[in-house]
Amino acid sequence: MKYKEGALTDELFAELSKRFFEAVESVPGLYGCVVKRNCLERDVNMDLMVSFYAEDAAALKAYIEHPRHLAIAAVSGPLETARFSFDCEE
């Protein structure tokens, strides 16, 4: 995700990270999550990267539709200027 100037504060990063990890614990089929903050300011870089580990595409779809994900989107979405996703299977 790319955020509006100054929006991704340390407090917001901590809150979003907590919510992403709570989502993993709440959605069957998810078994891991990595949340990283960009360390190099460049116009082409996003500010926040989140990777989920899922047993299959169905688990990922369940996460996307889960109330915890929708709650994260409600907090994060209005502050974002861009969002990209990439879903894949190993």
If you compute the radius of gyration of the chain from its CA atoms, what whole number of angstroms results?
13
Q: For the chain, give every domain's residue range.
A: 2-79
Q: What architecture does CATH give domain 2-79?
A: 2-Layer Sandwich (3.30)
* pLDDT(90) > 80: no
Could you write out the DSSP letters of every residue in the chain?
Answer: -EE-TTTS-HHHHHHHHHHHHHHHHHSTTEEEEEEEE--S--TT--SEEEEEEESSHHHHHHHHHSHHHHHHHHHHGGGEEE--------
What are the pLDDT digits (tens) for 49-85?
999 999 999 999 999 999 999 999 999 999 999 999 9
- The C-alpha atoms of residue 23 and residue 36 are separated, in whole angstroms, by 16
What are the pLDDT digits (tens) for 2-27?
999 999 999 999 999 999 999 999 99
